[in-house]
Structure 1
Amino acid sequence: MPSDLHKKYEVTQWLMWQMGGLGPMLGQMGHFWKHAAKNQPEEKLAYGQERYFTEGQRLWKVLDTQLEGKEYVCGDISIADFAIFPWLICVDKFYGMADKFLEYKNVQAYIERMWSRPAVKKGMAAMPFPH
């Protein structure tokens, strides 16, 4: 965590944003688009798919706006980035929905930037995504 009080609370804010928003909502999106879709009729899925996909888009837009002019969520890399990044990767590697989020250019550049970090590659390799 940053030693500067303002930066510390900014990082904490984005960490809480991930824990209370991005993570749970993308988790629900994945549930309705990947898991429930395997054994539920389409009419039962439509509301959940639309609801959580729309919320996922809203959250990606929030993140895209935050990343404008920044390399990382709070400027310097922080625990917030390490909490947010895996959920973005889930959308691609686990849910197979990355093509639905290509319009968020700042988020796309952020994903590439995070992947370019050797420690991120090593950490993500420790928990490979199932196919």
Structure 2
Amino acid sequence: MIDLYYWTTPNGHKVTLFLEETGLPYRLHPVNIGKGEQFAPEFLAIAPNNRIPAIVDPAPADGGAPISVFESGAILLYLADKTGQFIPADLRGRTEVLQWLFWQMGGLGPMAGQNHHFVQYAPERIAYAMERYVKETARLYAVLNKRLADRAFVAGADYSIADMACYPWIVPYERQQQDLADFPHLKRWFEAIAERPATKRAYALAETVNRAPVMDEDAKRIMFGQDARTVDSR
């Protein structure tokens, strides 16, 4: 049984999407990042970057000792390889999925995350930063919209870990000051994934873990006040 260390963020949702799709047994360990639980020594032992999600697989394919994995993209790839699901076996299909997985990890996630920060949480309304990240989010939405113009899913005809990586970062589109009506192919894809039974189960699970997210001043201090000393002191 996979042990999943999780909180209700886009990166956390990626992994529950996969696990719910495959039916791979898992045990959920909520890590409340607004209360600093990501700094617990037992969590840092498997996730040294003090970020969720992380997993521990007690039964890896090589038959050896349990394997821990942090970083959501690495987790998706690990689980896809473990199960043989949601990633093609052929070279070209696999490459197609991986490049879009890494596109999300290097672009859509970080840029939308900065959008969230400066639009929603920054103590100062910095017009340049807000405009910069809202526009870059729109550009990335447009890239995805164009990609989806002639295919059902991000990497082609089949749902894959590339879609699971991207979808949770589109869910808060309104907070990112985006209108899906401006991106019709993206909107069609988004609505199709939202209707998948596994997607509904994953997001229903999130509601049981964190029904009313709170971003108070203590949570902001914990989440946004970290520097090198945060790592050195742990």
Tell me if TM exceeds 0.5: yes
1:57 alignment counterpart: 138
Q: Contact (CA 8 Å) 2:118, 2:130: kept in 1 or not?
A: yes
| Structure 1, 63-72 or 120-129: larger mean CA deviation | 120-129
2:164 alignment counterpart: 82
1:31 paired with 2:110, answer no
In the TM superposition, 1:6-25 aligns within 5 A as 6-25=92-111
Q: Secondary structure at the match of 1:113?
A: helix
| Matched letter for residue 29 of structure 1 | N
Q: How far apart, CA to CA, are the structure 1 residues paired with 2:203 and 2:128?
A: 32
Q: Deviations over 1:26-57 (max 9, x none)?
A: 00001111111xx32x3xx1011011011001
Larger strand percent = 2
Match of 1:102 among 181, 187, 196: 181
Q: How far apart, CA to CA, are the structure 1 residues paired with 2:205 and 2:166?
A: 17
Structure 1: 5+ residue runs without aligned partners? none
Q: Contact (CA 8 Å) 1:26, 1:91: kept in 2 or not?
A: no
Distance 1:98 1:121, change over 3 A: farther
Larger helix percent = 1
Q: Contact (CA 8 Å) 1:29, 1:53: kept in 2 or not?
A: yes
Deviation at 1:107, TM superposition (A): 0.7
Greater relative contact order structure (CA < 8 Å, 6+ sep): 1
Structure 2: 5+ residue runs without aligned partners? 1-86, 215-234
Q: How far apart, CA to CA, are the structure 1 residues paired with 2:198 and 2:133?
A: 31
Q: Contact (CA 8 Å) 1:30, 1:91: kept in 2 or not?
A: no
Q: Deviations over 1:47-104 (max 9, x none)?
A: 1101101100110010001001211101210000001000000223xx26343x4300
| Matched letter for residue 97 of structure 1 | Q
Q: How far apart, CA to CA, are the structure 2 residues paired with 1:98 and 1:112?
A: 15
Between structure 1 and structure 2, the one with the greater Rg is 2
1:121 alignment counterpart: 200
Q: Percent identity?
A: 41
TM-score for both structures, normalised by structure 2 = 0.50
Q: How far apart, CA to CA, are the structure 2 residues paired with 1:96 and 1:69?
A: 25
Q: How many residues align?
A: 123
Q: Contact (CA 8 Å) 1:67, 1:107: kept in 2 or not?
A: yes
Match of 1:71 among 152, 161, 166: 152
Q: Contact (CA 8 Å) 1:26, 1:87: kept in 2 or not?
A: yes
TM-score for both structures, normalised by structure 1 = 0.86
